[in-house]
């Protein structure tokens, strides 16, 4: 079953669950709308990789919003966003942990012969396509910066 089909089936299940599936239904509907908009922009049906890319973008938007709501002291909205993130994560590939990202980043550093922070763009350009939808870009960027700083010493 494709990711698109899974979203549709889960939406039907959430519809049947009425009140219990209200948040899930809302998140799935927003995600499906984002997918439809992306398909229209591209002019073709989305592949699973493109779907993952869109869902990862939705996830990132929510993570960024959490920080803003925490600063504003809106804890009820923070809790709601965290629940939405949990729902979206069900549709994304297993997220990599810090050690796995560090290992992949180190391999890329060696392959592109990066040895200073000026090489950050080269490293990220090779690394991010490998991690698409499986790691947060901010975390990856921080890990690569740390590795490049340790390489300079």
**Helices 22-42 & 75-89 angle (0-180, nearest 10):** 60
CA 88 to chain centre: 9
Residue-wise pLDDT for 42-63, tens only, equals: 999 988 888 888 998 898 899 8
pLDDT interval class at 31 (50, 70, 90): very high
153 has pLDDT over 70: no
Owning domain of residue 116: 98-152
- What global pTM score does this model have? 0.74
Task: Assess whether 48 and 108 both reside in one domain.
Answer: no
Rounded Cα–Cα distance for residues 6 and 16 (Å)? 15
Task: Assess whether 76 and 35 both reside in one domain.
Answer: yes
Task: Assess whether 56 and 108 both reside in one domain.
Answer: no
Look up the CATH number of the domain holding residue 105.
1.10.10.410
């Amino acid at each position: 079953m494709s990711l698109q089909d899974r979203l549709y089936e889960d939406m039907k299940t959430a519809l049947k669950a009425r009140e219990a599936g209200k948040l899930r239904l809302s998140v799935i509907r927003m995600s499906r709308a984002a997918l439809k908009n992306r398909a229209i922009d591209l002019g073709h049906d989305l592949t699973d990789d493109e779907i993952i890319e869109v869902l990862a973008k939705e996830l990132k938007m929510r993570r960024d919003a959490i920080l803003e709501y925490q600063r504003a002291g809106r804890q009820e909205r923070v809790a709601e966003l965290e629940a939405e993130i949990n729902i979206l994560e069900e549709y994304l590939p297993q997220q990599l942990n810090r050690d796995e990202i560090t290992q992949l980043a180190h391999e890329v550093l060696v392959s592109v012969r990066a040895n200073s922070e000026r090489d950050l763009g080269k490293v990220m350009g090779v690394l991010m396509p490998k991690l698409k939808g499986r790691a947060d870009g901010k975390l990856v960027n921080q890990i690569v910066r740390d590795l490049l700083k340790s390489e300079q010493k």
